[in-house]
Structure 1
Amino acid sequence: MKNWVPLSDEQYRLVWGKFYKDFNFKPSIHSSDWPSYRLPIPFVSFDITEYTDDDIDDLEEKCITNFRAVTESDKYIYALDWQHQSYLYNPHLENGNASGRIGFYPDGDYYFFLNKDFKWGYLGHPWEQSISIFGEELIHQFEMNRPTIFGKIVRSNR
């Protein structure tokens, strides 16, 4: 089994269509338009403007650990890269085909990781330089295992 399975064209259209609708997604590079999406309650958003390479490595490790904690071993979540190939991702499997993967640090594009029913998720905003976590289960996991890159909280409803 692969841990990064490309979405079919139909899956891509359906998942992104649902995301645009449910999150009122309006991508923008202009700060006056941020945040670019409406976050479900509860949520917390972190500033990620200050970091080192070690912080990026720590983010990768902690995201995988946290996603494993909230995902059954045989289940996949959505890994979405705006206007690029998107995937079904299983954090329990080894990074065998890592060349096709999406990183957890939004380095120039929106990177979103969502469970299939959108009850929790991880949203990376490249221009605002923020990461938002929503859904009590995932927020709790990131509170227990917080990446060093997470700076001050920029938005929260908790």
Structure 2
Amino acid sequence: MDMPGQNEGSQPFVDRPIAVSAAFEGSEDIAAARDLARSFLADLRARHGLTVSARAEGMVQLVVSELVTNARKYAPGPCLLSLEVNEGAVEVTVWDSEPCLPVAQAADPGRVGQHGLEIVVAVCRSFEMHREPVGKRITAAVVLADDAVGDEGGDEVCR
């Protein structure tokens, strides 16, 4: 009889990453990138039994939309989108061919537009940018499940 977490040869299962990726080449693909994120999150729930809060679902789609939009707007050629579960979060990674790293502008409530990077940084657990031999890679992690936190009275509330 095999023990849980082992296969027939009594070797522990090696967890493979839960991930999906796709290449996009046109502005019409921004909606397709959001659809890929939505499908990936549904798969996390249905096939892998992971908790994905409504907040996380919205934030992952927002981050995908902002990062793919920026790649399509500022970089020539295709962009690559990867979604991977890592330590209770979905890491959204976008590669594009433009080597210049984006810079978030100073907060200005009167400015119309160009708030995408500020928003992404604000809603993510982590945000990293790296130059690659060709282009750049941006990775933002969105926590999947909302944490219950205790208030001063000891009652738990959900964020």
Larger-Rg structure: 2
Structure in which a larger fraction of residues adopt strand: 2
Compute the TM-score of the two structures, normalised by the length of structure 2: 0.28
TM-score w.r.t. length of structure 1: 0.28
